[in-house]
Amino acid sequence: MPPQLPVPPPASAIYQPSPVYLTGEEELRASSLANASGLGLTISGRILRPDGTISPIKFTHAPNSTRTIATTIVGLSEGWLLGLTVRATTGAPAFGQTWVLLELLRGGGGATDVVQTLGMGFVTANTPLNWPGGVNFLPTDGPGHLRSIVGTTPAAGAEISEVVPTGARWEFLAFRALFVTSAAVANRFPSFIVFDGSSGDYQNGAIVAQAASLSIKYHLAPGAPAPQLDGNNDLVIPAPVGVRLAAGFAINTGTANIQAGDQWSAIRYLVREWMTGE
Amino acid sequence: MATGNVVQCNACGGIYRTHQLDGTEYYHACPPQRVIGTKPAPTPTDPNATAPIFEAVANRRDENVKVTDDQGTVAIKAEGLGVTPVTDPAILAAFTAA
């Protein structure tokens, strides 16, 4: 009778190739925040199954463009979760525009429990979020996303009002707008107001009047020393450095003695944006 | 890259581009008031000086979103009076160059 060969133990009993063993009852949830449209993410990974074979994971996820949470949930087979990676495969988001959270759930189909958070961070086409070993970032961490925004040109006689979008947090970096006065005789004094939704938190304005039939380009500049008008009719107005604005806050103008035919236009500003997930 | 359209708000008359050049969406919100006329300045230094007459903007539009249910459905906060696409080439050119 030939000697009996030993029965190999199951793979799960030999070694631990990963800190996460899946029972087959867990699901993977990918959640995202984004501020650009037309984006698509691909989540890829591998599972070492109890029979020693490696099973790939691959699915896509479409973030919302509105800074609101979008989620995709997929079932996972039993085995060792070896690794996961997420990157943008549709669209070309800049760093800071797309944030992803990966979690393990149990209880799919009904009430679900988050049993483990695997990782969170920003992704682009070339900078993935990976687990294990990735660095975690909250959506309000990091350098933010630089946005150069063309604002609303208000109707004649109306003020500028640029509102921080829902789910966003801005750091104000620069603002400029052209103010053209009508022939109506009056001395206008434009000012810029950082508005928290109920009252003005900060206001600073021109120290010289803008009379009738004039065009002056106003620049609100953090850290500028004092209001000054150059020979090109560009007026620089100082603002505080590092001002953060929450959703619903606004950058407004308030123009003393504004007239019905006066016109603000060519509004452009630079902000650093984070998404809050709120 | 989505460049969007240039539209005019029917409530406040503001003109804006719905998408920025970097692909982000722009959410317009009407200012609270506007000037509809002038009156003699109360303490004029110039006999022709005028002061503004303000009017609240009615049916203000606010395109910022709100979540409306547990499924994460979003809708804009206030439709206002809607928008009208801008077709004037001069205005469109100004927004391209802004």
Q: Tell me: the pLDDT tens digits for B68-83? A: 887 778 899 999 999 9
Query: What does the pLDDT read at residue A204?
Result: 75
Contact assessment for residue A106 and residue A65, using Cβ atoms and an 8 Å cutoff: no
Q: Please state the rounded mean pLDDT for residues B33-50.
A: 77
Question: Are the beta carbons of A158 and B25 separated by less than 8 Å?
Answer: no
Chain B residues with CB-CB distance to A165 below 8 A: 27, 64-65
Q: Which tokens go with B8?
A: 């005019």
Does pLDDT of B3 surpass 60? Answer: no
Distance to chain B for A272, nearest Cα, Å: 13
Q: What residue ranges of chain A have pLDDT lower than 50? A: none
Question: Nearest by CB to A158, which of B35, B41, B51?
Answer: B35
Nearest CA in chain B to A257: B51
Which residues make Cβ contacts (< 8 Å) with residue B76, sequence separation at least 6? B27, B62, B63, B64, B65, B66
Does residue A154 sit at the B interface (CB-CB below 8 Å)? yes
Question: Are the beta carbons of A37 and B15 separated by less than 8 Å?
Answer: no
Q: What is the DSSP string of A77-138?
A: -SEEEEEEEEEEEES-PPTTSEEEEEEEEESTTSS-EEEEEEEEEE--SSS-EEETTPPP--
Query: What does the pLDDT read at residue B53?
Result: 86
Does pLDDT of B11 surpass 90? Answer: yes
Does pLDDT of B98 surpass 70? Answer: no
Query: What does the pLDDT read at residue B2?
Result: 41
Which residues make Cβ contacts (< 8 Å) with residue B93, sequence separation at least 6? none
ipTM higher than 0.90?
no
Query: What does the pLDDT read at residue A199?
Result: 67
Question: Are the beta carbons of B62 and A165 separated by less than 8 Å?
Answer: no
Q: Please state the rounded mean pLDDT for residues B29-58.
A: 81
CA angle A213/B53/B58 to nearest 5° reads 115
Q: Which of residues 52-81 of B touch A (CB under 8 A)?
A: 52-53, 57, 62, 64-67, 72, 74, 77
The model carries a pTM of: 0.84
Tell me the residue type at A65. Answer: S
Query: What does the pLDDT read at residue A115?
Result: 93
Mean pLDDT value across chain B: 85
Q: Which tokens go with B97?
A: 């160059």
Query: What does the pLDDT read at residue A10?
Result: 63
Q: Please state the rounded mean pLDDT for residues B61-71.
A: 86
Question: Are the beta carbons of A260 and B35 separated by less than 8 Å?
Answer: yes
Q: Which domains does chain A have, with CATH numbers?
A: 11-131 (2.60.60), 145-275 (2.60.120)
